[in-house]
Chains A and B, each alone.
Chain A
Amino acid sequence: METSVIFIALSLWLALFVLLPVFHERAEAAASGERLPPGFRAEIGSLLAGLRDLEYDAQTGKLGPEDLESMRSQMQTRLVDTIRWAGYEARFLDAEGAPLFELLAPLEIE
C-alpha cells in the first residue's frame, strides 16, 4: 500500500516536472550579454541580407511596391519566428513583437 502511494506521488511529481515549462511565460533563455549561437547568427544574418536585397530590388525597379510589401512581411515573420525560437525575444524584439533592427544590424551578412 505504502509503495503504491509513493509510486503515485512520484508519478504526479514527474508529471508536474514535465508540464511546468509549458505553463511558464516564454522563458527568457538568453541573457542580453550572452554570446549568440553561430547557427542563430547565420540565420539572422541571411534574413537581414535578404531584406536588404528586397529594398535594393525595389529601388532598381525589379520589384513592385505590392510584391515588396508581401515579401518583406514574409521575411519579417521568419525573422521574428527565428528570434522567438532561439529565446532572444527580450533582446531583439520590442514590446509589440517587432524586430529591433538597430540591435540586429551587426549580425547582417554583407
Chain B
Amino acid sequence: LTRRRLLDWFLGTSLGAMCLSALYPVARYVTPPDVPEAPTNRALAARDGELKPNEARVFRFGSHPGLLVRDADGGYRAFEATCTHLSCTVQYRPDLKQIWCACHNGFYDMNGRNVSGPPPRPLQQYAVHVANGEVVVSRA
C-alpha cells in the first residue's frame, strides 16, 4: 500500500460518503410520507328511497369510492367501487344487472364476483343497514 493509494482511498470514500449524504435526504423527500388515515368503518350511502329499484350510486367510503346498488327486488347491496384489475371506479349497468368497469370491460355479478373480463378478484362487499330512512354501509 503506497501513501498515494491510501490518500486516493480516503478521498474516494469521503466523496462517496458526501454524495450519499446528499442523495439520502433527496430519496426520502421524493417518497411521499404515509398519512395515517382514520379507518372508515361506516358511511351514509344514501337516503332510503333515493334510489329506485335497479339503480345505483357511487358514495364516499372514507377516501375510497363505494357503490350502492338497489336490486330489482328493492334490496340494497354495497361494494367497494374500486375495480380489482387496475383500480378504475366501477358502475352499475341496469341493462345487464351487472357491475361494470368501463376501463377494460370487466364485469362483476350482483354478489361482486368477477364474472368476465380481466378483473382477477371479486369486489369487497359491505354490509348494508337501513334505519331511520338512512342507508348506512359498514365493513362486513
A and B, one complex?
Answer: no
